[in-house]
Amino acid sequence: MKQTFLIFLLSAISSWAFPQNQKPDSLLSLIAASAPDTHRVNLLRKAGQIQLRKDSAVAMAYYRQSVALARELNYYAGLSEGYSRMAIVHYYNDAYDSVRAYVDTSLYYLRKTGNPIELAKAYIGSANIHLSINNYQLALNDCLTAENYTRETGDQETLAQIFQLQSHIYRSQNQFTPALEFQLKAINLFRQLQKRPEEGHALYAHAMLLSRMKKRAEAHKVLNTAITIADSLKNYASMATYRQVLIEILTEEKRYTEARSTAQKALKFAELSDTPRIKGYVLESLSLLEQAQQNYNETIRYALQAYPVFEHTRDLWHQRKLAEILSQAYEKTGDTGQALLYHKTYTALHDSLLRQQLNMETRRMQVQSRFREKDNEIKLLAQEKELQEQRLFRQTLVSLLTGTLTLLLLGGIILLRNRSRLKHQIRELELRNRIASDLHDEVGSSLSSIHLLSQMIRNQPESTKRSELFETMSRNVKETVDRVTDIVWVVKPEENEKGNLRERMERFAYDICISAGIELELDISDIKKDTLTMEQRKNLYLIFKEAVNNAVKYSGTPKLRVQLTHTGKDILLNVEDHGRGFDPATVKKGNGLTNIRNRAKELNARLEISSREGEGTTVSLAVNLNG
């Protein structure tokens, strides 16, 4: 597709030519010595053309210089040609949306020249762009515009090219009837014009179309005509290519003798054409011919000759096809090792092609989306102001640009300053959402339980059972209040509750230890509000609370020691009891230890729980504030 597009696009860039053996050094000398006129515009563009395949960035620099000078001179043809060249650079780099912008700009200036034949060729290029990204309707619209311009001039050869392109567009959509119609129009025009090479190629395309429609007999007949033309012109590449397709048709018709004779001729002409890729196609067709006749050793011989050709050209599709042929042929000959090797190669190539196709389709969809969304913006690029208007408003524009740049700079500084703050706010919003979920899950279930207990108490007569239910409900109410208080404090500790993290931890530890008759040794450092994020504060406090609660409820300890220190880059929490302890390997896993480990993981903190039966338990947590 790229080659087709470039042929049409380059044909739209006309009016002058340079010797093909022009040397870069001599060209640069000519540019330096030339006056700032239209000749210099053309020289700059030629310099870009020479650099195009070496360094596209250097080529673009020359094209920009040529466009800038052409704009100063009101040289519309030079502007159109320069923008067309820029489109080619971007096409080489698959930047299709940029290609469209440059082509539209080229068309804008080309319309100013009023040259219909050049406009027709440019619209053919635009149609190829749309075809390459599957925008079939836009491609057909461009073809119709090109056809209208071409009919103004009576250029039948360009009209035939347009018919071929329209056939290709319909064929790409599997609409074979209109594709055949336009292809036949192209063939008849080339025949009337006595353009024999073009007629032969159009016949070849017609035969390929018929073959896709399973009309092999008709395709065979059309190919014979194309082969006759190629033979008369001694065009070895075409003589080999047309016969290669005929080999496949004859093989499908099981006319093996005729196919082998055709293949030998095709191979000879491919070698005379000195085109490795064509020779590869012929060898591949020969391997398929031998495979169809179950001549597996010959199949392997031809396939092994063809494979390096496509490996060198990085043609994954034909590499995959040959790998499949070789795998099947080696299996038939009993060489399972080679069969397995080529099956693995086939699988790897198949996966690569699928990824390549996926990437291509994704890119095409993205480009199509940008075309739809920014079509009006792209067209505005073609509406450049005239040189005199730019000179009149140059000072004003400079002032406006300076002011704009200043504003942008200030805006950038403000955005950079607010960026981290915004990220922090987003993280806190996510935490608040999780807290809301906690409220729904934990508090909601507790309230449901309290409601159920109240209903049971109402229906329960005065008894010991009723007192037990009252006590259970009272305990649930207290736990619910504690959970709500904890969650509210995490969200807004300074507004909803007087006291910082240290004071809250002390209050909880004293309350629970006094009620349980446990001696408490407490050493908690004061941690400033901005030291921890909301999420860190929440997880650190809940780990502390869970560890203290577990020690009081389950350890049977007479004494509890809690220490929280801030060393600068780390916050260290240590909860140590002297209770009965447990074996971590055999203890039943409950929510307590699981919650501690999960919250430590969210903090990205180091957690160590050490315990031995009869020797107490120590929970140690280290939170790295820089991590």
pLDDT, tens digit, 9 for 90 and up, residues 22-78: 566 677 788 888 888 999 998 998 888 888 777 888 888 899 999 999 999 999 888
List all residues 6 or more positions away from 138 whose beta carbon is below 8 Å from its beta carbon.
Answer: 127, 130
pLDDT confidence bin for 284, thresholds 50/70/90 = very high
- Provide the residue ranges of all domains of the chain, joining segments of one domain with +: 499-624
**537 and 487 in contact (C-beta within 8 Å)?**
no
Each residue's pLDDT tens digit, 221-245: 999 999 999 999 999 999 999 998 9
CA distances from 141 to 91, 166, 318, 416 (A): 21, 10, 34, 46
pLDDT at 392: 60
Q: Which residue has the tokens 């080309």?
A: 110
Low-confidence winner among 120-134, 152-166, 210-224, 443-457 (lowest mean pLDDT): 443-457
Most confident of 130-134, 407-411, 495-499, 613-617: 613-617
**89 and 98 in contact (C-beta within 8 Å)?**
no
Spatial separation of the C-alpha atoms in residues 1 and 131, rounded to whole Å: 9
One of 3.30.565.10, 3.40.50.300, 3.30.450.20, 3.40.228.10 is the CATH number of 499-624, namely: 3.30.565.10
pLDDT value at 183 more than 60: yes
Mean pLDDT confidence for 591-597: 80
Low-confidence winner among 129-133, 385-389, 400-404 (lowest mean pLDDT): 385-389
Each residue's pLDDT tens digit, 255-279: 999 999 999 999 999 999 888 999 9
Looking at per-residue confidence, does 399 or 189 come out higher? 189
Residue 609 has phi, psi (to 5 degrees) of -115, 110
End-to-end CA distance of the chain: 51
Each residue's pLDDT tens digit, 297-356: 999 999 999 999 998 888 889 999 999 999 999 999 999 999 999 999 999 988 888 887
* Helix H or strand E segment including 261: helix 256-273
pLDDT value at 382 more than 60: no
- Grouping H, G, I as helix, E, B as strand and the rest as coil, residue 606 is strand
Spatial separation of the C-alpha atoms in residues 243 and 268, rounded to whole Å: 11
pLDDT at 111: 85
Residue 22 has phi, psi (to 5 degrees) of -60, 130
pLDDT at 555: 86
Mean pLDDT confidence for 351-376: 65
List all residues 6 or more positions away from 169 whose beta carbon is below 8 Å from its beta carbon.
Answer: 127, 131, 136, 139, 140, 143
pLDDT confidence bin for 115, thresholds 50/70/90 = confident
Spatial separation of the C-alpha atoms in residues 84 and 9, rounded to whole Å: 7
pLDDT confidence bin for 449, thresholds 50/70/90 = low
pLDDT at 455: 64
**Residue 463's Cα: distance from chain center in Å?**
72
Each residue's pLDDT tens digit, 492-504: 655 444 457 888 8
